[in-house]
Amino acid sequence: MDLGAHRFVHLHTHSEYSLLDGACRIDDIIKKAVEFEMPSVAITDHGVMYGNISFYSAAKAAGIKPILGCEVYVAVESRTRRDPKLDKDQYHLVLLAKSEQGYRNLIKLVSIAFSEEFYYKPRVDKELLAQYSEDLIALTACLAGEVPKSILNNNLEQAERSLGEYVDIFGKENVYLELQDHSLPEQKPVNEALILLSKRTGLKLVASNDIHYVEKKDAEPHDVLLCIQTGSILSDPNRMRFGSREFYMKSPDEMARLFSDVPEALENTLEIADRCNIKFDFGKSKLPNPGIPEGMSPAEYMQAEAYRGLVTRLGGELSEEYRKQFEYECKIINECGFATYMLIVRDFTDFARRQGIYVGVRGSAAGSLVCYGLGITDVDPIEYGLTFERFLNPERVEMPDVDLDIQDDRRDELIQYVVEKYGRERVGQIATFGSLKARAAVRDCGRVLGMDLAEVDRICKMIPTVPVGVTIDRALEENPDLQAAYNSRRDIKELIDTARSLEGLNRNVGVHAAGVLISDDPLTDHVPIQYGGKGEIVAQLDKDAIKKVGLLKMDFLGLANLTILANAVKLVKRNRGIDIDILNIPLNDSKVFEMLGKGDTNGVFQLEGAGMRRNVIELQPSSVRELAAMVALYRPGPMAYIPKFVRSKFGQEKVEYLHPDLEPILKETYGVICYQDQVLRIARAIAGFTLGQADVLRKAMSSKDKRIMAEQREKFLEGAKAKGVPLKIAEQIYEQIEPFAGYAFNKAHAVCYALVAYRTAYMKANFPVEYYTALFSANMDDQEKLSIYMEDCRRLGITVLPPDVNHSKAEFEVEGEAIRFGLAAVKGCGRAIIDAIVQARESGGPFTDLFDFCRRVHAVATMNRSTIECLIKVGAFASIHPNRAQLLQMLPDAINAAAAILRDQKSGQAGLFGDMADTASLSPDIEKYDHIAEFPREEILAMEKELTGVYFSGHPLDSVRSIIERKCTANAQTFRDLDNDQECIVGGIISDIRFRHTRRNERMAHIKLEDLYGTIPVTFFPAAFKNCSQYLSKDQIVLIKGKASHRERIASDEESTVVEVEILGETVIPIRNGNKNGKSNGNGARIVHIRINGNPNLRLEMLKSLLEAYPGESPVYFHLYHGESHQCISSAFKVDPCPKFVSEIERILGKDVVKVG
């Protein structure tokens, strides 16, 4: 291309990868460059190189030469100095790579700036620039550059000295004085001085526009983007803003008019473009050597190892079917050059198994017989009829993708192995970019524009979240309500138009949850890096860019269920002496399928949840294949076919096929499409599609793009016609596969998940004590699940022992045929104090009393009083002192005594009086606490529930358990699966109640109803409240008849929608009051006197809520004391003066303020 025929190219461009600062999408930059007939264009993001590979690919595809660069931050003096006054600001410097070597140097500079010298910004200094200056061109940058800043400070001499330093670093021919004109008053004197410096020094001038958005009209949306970055609003006069609307991608003609007095500055952009020539070889992989023996090629070694593994696994030589498939796969893998990749993955899985780390593979890799032979997978693909081509399609050659599931508590061990084997500098993780999706863009723009947030929320809800990735444009096209709002109101039109401009732009960078990057040499030879929050190396590229560069990306996914399995197996070995090989358990265990058939699926991978439980009960599964089908069908779209699948299994519905060629494809699944594999096979059998064409069809259906789907439908019907399939039949078949293609699992994935589901079910059915122990430990932070599993254990006859300082460890433990509650599951108990408790107990034997406990634990670690209080409240000291109230009174004395002993020991007095001190501490005057009565039972239960999420000293509903189980149609575990408006009966104890008034001043209530499994939110609107209010009070045990109500809420990611389910109460049937002392209701005529000291207005609202929460028959009188005055006031309130009511009043007003008589 003759660059001289063109007049100008842009060399200073900030893409969206200058996060929340640049608003240029890469494709838009390239399109505009094509429109302007520019032969070349540069990318120069602020301090990062996130977008360089994507930019390179897009430019090359458009026939434009890409110039790769970065606007780096240069430290004011040394990059090692970190003075908040002197180093908060940095200089800008634009660097452009002339060659591959220059690009590697730029990578080194950016990486070191992030890794070593980050201070406010990633910084380099002139020493570092000198070290990596080869083949780099430097432009003096914008007004924030070192030379322009010196000019603005009226120090031309300093500017010239700085230029001299840059010339020494890069060479005179590689330093250019950058002229910019954005109609900013400061730029005119700077440009005049730069022209003068050019004459003095002989350095060349170059013109640029500091591009931050592509079109001039994008200035306003860019202004909003800056507000999103800084958290400000558009109307704030003091916010950060650009000084003009000129930071867009100007045409060569516009640039020529701006710099007509210095035409050489325009010509020099072409000179620079001519000097910058980078060419990447994206087809070359950079895989490390996993340990292939000398004298063997990767292909030979892989084939030999895979064959040996298959012979071992199959118990002898391969049958003809296996041999043919094995040879076919080896041929494809070797032709594609992926043998080394397979051996690398095998090395990881081999290490994991040697170390006892549970690993599994999800996804298409399970369809490979070679993977099975190498030990990467544990699924025989021929036995399960899995498709190799879903793993590696010979028509679409790209690096295969093996996703490893790893028990989540040992994932770091596997990553550490990779680091140690290949070297820390060769292993990293991958960046991931969060973007401004449709709803998030609307929400952010609404805040910046100062709109009413409720109105913004209303607009957000008009943008659907299913399917994923719905754009604002598509929502406008499909939602008439959104169209009407857009067309009728100027403020909403402005909101939506602004959001559309910013939608899809990157807003932040994070670390990919699973991706691990491995190279055959240091990562910084290929990619720029930075460091994550945990100090991990992170490539400044996302997974798609990594693929292009040719580096190996592995997905190491932590899976809690594998941790549960691993721990359960260990517990069985420790408790029963039985070794379980979880990969080789029988897959036809009748106890497993009997348990699942009863719907006992809590804690079983993929089968929890009321909806899935119902389907499993109906299916009565009898094989892993049927579990796989259910896992695959329980998704949007295919879910509607579950009843047909079940009826067909039991012969209640005849299996019919629209075409004979469908029978061998669908017979296994009773005529129902379950898997993506079946969609691909149908496309090939009915429409004659190749593997590649069938995959395009699948992706088109996944995208939900109407235009692409219409094109694919036409191709399918044409292909079917060519194969002699009648049009009507072909249309019916296409309509049958359409709902599945976008949502269905591939079969290999479903089988892998089904096997994990079966293994968890096997452990639960055969070793329930050990399995629930592991399950509890894995869910210590989820009180709702703990409550569900506790109820399961009660039903199964498994005793869960309370936490105990003389028996418990941090995790849950097996104790005989019971489970001991773990101390780490008690709120407020940190790991350090728990370790100290266990250490003191194991070294000195059981604790004898609270004083002994405090003395010995305090000797190991600093005690936290609130932690010990929590342990007392949940009954963890019951084995040494049963009265919790006495222990809480005793605690300050015990802590003081322990501290005194420790002080004496440190001061040396323990040598003289140690024996006496120990004796004194072991024989405290405990009798002086005997007069303190134990807490009421309901208070003990409340403390246990608050601190652990479960009850140990009984359950408030024990006496009415049979009534609730018999009468209720939903519970805390199942109510979220109710359909909207579905009628139900729920029952339990009212644990919380909040009253409020509507706009019409009508009363309503929100209550929390606690049942045997957890908590259910129930709302009583005014009409229902009026009829039921007399039964709505704290601790009342009730049955509530109502309807489920689904309410959409924007999720925390501000993009997706969460459906919250509550019950709208209609009628209430009281079972009994939860207060068991029997006094309050029996003596309804008693009068309640409440003393209020000082100004009552300070606590009036809180007091009113409490009085309303305990309705009863006892009238309330207030006694107001203010100074010397006393006033008695009667009120309209009537309450139930139970102990809980009294304690809550005294909590806000002080002790002894309530008298009942």
Q: Tell me: the pLDDT tens digits for 536-569?
A: 899 999 988 888 888 888 889 999 999 999 999 9
Closest CA to 1033 of 1104, 1113, 1110: 1110
To the nearest whole percent, how much of the chain has pLDDT over 90? 63
Percent of the chain with pLDDT over 70: 94
Ordered by where they begin, the domains of the chain are: 3-214+249-275 (3.20.20.140), 298-424+551-560 (no CATH), 580-762 (no CATH), 823-947 (no CATH), 955-1076 (2.40.50.140), 1078-1157 (no CATH)
**Cα separation, 824 vs 401, whole angstroms:** 38
Q: What is the mean pLDDT of residues 829-848?
A: 93
Instruction: Count helices and strands (H / E) in the chain.
Output: 45, 26
pLDDT of residue 958: 86
| Whether the predicted pLDDT of 629 surpasses 50 | yes
pLDDT value of residue 606: 93
Confidence of residue 117 (pLDDT cuts 50, 70, 90): low
pLDDT for 1134 equals 82
Contact between 46 and 21 (Cβ < 8 Å) = yes
C-alpha atoms less than 13 angstroms from C-alpha of 192 in its C-beta half-sphere: 6
Would the pLDDT of 921 be above 50? Answer: no
Residue 979 DSSP code: P
Give the DSSP H or E segment for 1021.
none
Confidence of residue 928 (pLDDT cuts 50, 70, 90): confident
Query: Strands 1057-1073 and 1088-1093, how do they pair?
Result: unpaired
Q: Is 225 exposed, middle or buried (0-12, 13-18, 19+ CB in 10 A)?
A: buried
User: Does residue 82 come out as left (phi exceeding 0), alpha (psi in the -120 to 50 range) or beta?
Assistant: beta
| pTM score | 0.82
In three state form, how does the secondary structure of 422-473 look? HCHHHEEEEEEEEECCHHHHHHHHHHHCCCCHHHHHHHHCCCCCCCCCCCHH
Cα-based angle 975, 978, 984 (whole degrees, multiple of 5): 75
| Angle of the 910-922 helix axis to the 884-907 helix axis, nearest 10 | 170
**pLDDT single digits (tens) 723-764:** 999 999 999 999 888 777 667 788 999 999 999 999 999 999
Mean pLDDT, all residues of the chain: 89
Distance (Å, whole) CA 855 – CA 896: 9
Q: CA 1084, CA 74: separation in Å to the nearest integer?
A: 80
What pLDDT sits at residue 670?
92
Q: What does the pLDDT look like over 260-272, one tens digit per residue?
A: 999 999 999 999 9
Specify the length of the chain in residues: 1157
Does residue 1044 register a pLDDT over 90?
Answer: yes
Q: Using pLDDT thresholds of 50, 70 and 90, give the confidence band for residue 3.
A: very low
**Closest to 58 in 3D by CA, of 84, 85, 25:** 25
Q: What is the pLDDT of residue 814?
A: 96
Name residue, tokens 């929340």: 20
Kindly state the helix (H) or strand (E) to which residue 142 belongs, with its residue range: none
Q: Identify the three-state secondary structure at position 249.
A: coil
Could you tell me which of 978, 1062, 1059, 1063 has the C-alpha nearest to residue 464?
A: 1059
What pLDDT digit, counting tens, does each position of 666-713 carry? 999 999 988 988 888 999 999 999 877 887 887 777 766 677 888 888
Q: What's the pLDDT at 154? A: 93
Q: How far, in Å, CA of 73 to CA of 1013, rounded?
A: 57
> 1053 pLDDT exceeds 70?
no
Which two tokens mark 263?
Answer: 């035409």
Q: Please spell the DSSP secondary structure of 94-111, one letter per residue.
A: EEEESSHHHHHHHHHHHH
Mean pLDDT is lowest, of 383-392, 573-582, 1118-1127, for 1118-1127
Residue 250 Cα distances to 36, 209, 215, 678, 946, angstroms: 9, 7, 8, 52, 64
Q: What amino acid occupies position 528?
A: P
Q: Are 975 and 1063 in contact (CB under 8 A)?
A: yes
